[in-house]
Amino acid sequence: MSNDTPTLLTVRDAAERLNVTPRTLKYYEERGLVTPTRSEGRYRLYDENDLDRFARILRLRSLGFSLEGITEMLKRPMQAVEGGRRFSDDSLREIGDALRAQVQALDARIDAMRREMKEAQTLKAELAHDLDYIERRLAGENAELLIRQRREETARKRALATKASQSARSTNAAPHEAASAPPSPARPQATAKRARKSAKNPDDPA
């Protein structure tokens, strides 16, 4: 075997060298963070580059970075600086843009889930109301009385909803009307009195 041939380690040997379990290495592989080579028998084999990548992942995880954040970091090169390696400003901006996009996508998902939850809660309340009628009918309550009660209850809910809608429209319209209203003209009588007073006493300020 040539001395230039890289040393390949099995998953067990790689895990022992990194002081982690084989399952940890397989998990990061499943997440797409590392892609080892495969032997003819389909066994995982890791070279030094894979081990360096694993070590970097483990170090970032120990610092509290998420796997999503680490994924973006691994896509960008690091530059050599005194005492180690660091991301360039351009790389940091790219990582920030990628993570910001993920946060925005998650915000959109959260909003959609909240809307879906609200719709589900509304539907649940409606079904519970229907189920109450069925159970009371099965319990022997008078059908006509129950129907009258439901009709009255529905009418009250609609009246309250209409009142709330009108109140909201009135509240929203009031500031607009106040802002757009023209100034009130001065009363002619008061204006005439001030004019006469000024004419009689030119040195007296109005």
Question: What does pTM read for this prediction?
Answer: 0.61
Q: Quickly state the pLDDT bin for 48 (edges 50, 70, 90).
A: very high
Q: What is the pLDDT of residues 149-162, one digit of tens each?
A: 999 988 998 999 89
Q: Which residues contact 60 (CB under 8 A, 6 or more apart)?
A: 69, 70, 73
Residue 20 structure tokens? 């982690």
Residue 198 structure tokens? 């000024």
Length of the chain: 206
Residue 105 has pLDDT above 90, yes or no: yes
Distances (CA, A) of 28 to 43, 56, 70, 149: 16, 12, 11, 61
Per 3-state DSSP, the chain is made up of helix, strand and coil in percentages (nearest 5) of 70, 5, 25
Q: Which residue's structure tokens are 């009135």?
A: 170
Residue 35 structure tokens? 């892609």
Numbers of helices and strands, H then E, in the chain: 7, 5
Third-level CATH fold of 1-64: Multidrug-efflux Transporter Regulator; Chain: A; Domain 2 (1.10.1660)
Mean pLDDT of the chain: 84
Among residues of the chain, what percentage have pLDDT more than 70?
81
Residue 36 structure tokens? 């080892």
Residue 57 has pLDDT above 90, yes or no: yes
Residue 111 structure tokens? 């909003």
The distance in angstroms from the start CA to the end CA of the chain is: 110
Higher pLDDT, 39 or 128: 128
Is the separation of the CB atoms in 50 and 14 below 8 Å? Answer: yes
Among residues of the chain, what percentage have pLDDT more than 90?
58
Q: Give start and end residues of each alpha helix (H) in 43-142.
A: 48-62, 67-74, 89-138
Cα distance between residue 12 and residue 23, in whole Å:
9
Residue 54 has pLDDT above 60, yes or no: yes
What is the mean pLDDT of the segment spanning 132-145? 93
Residue 201 has pLDDT above 50, yes or no: no
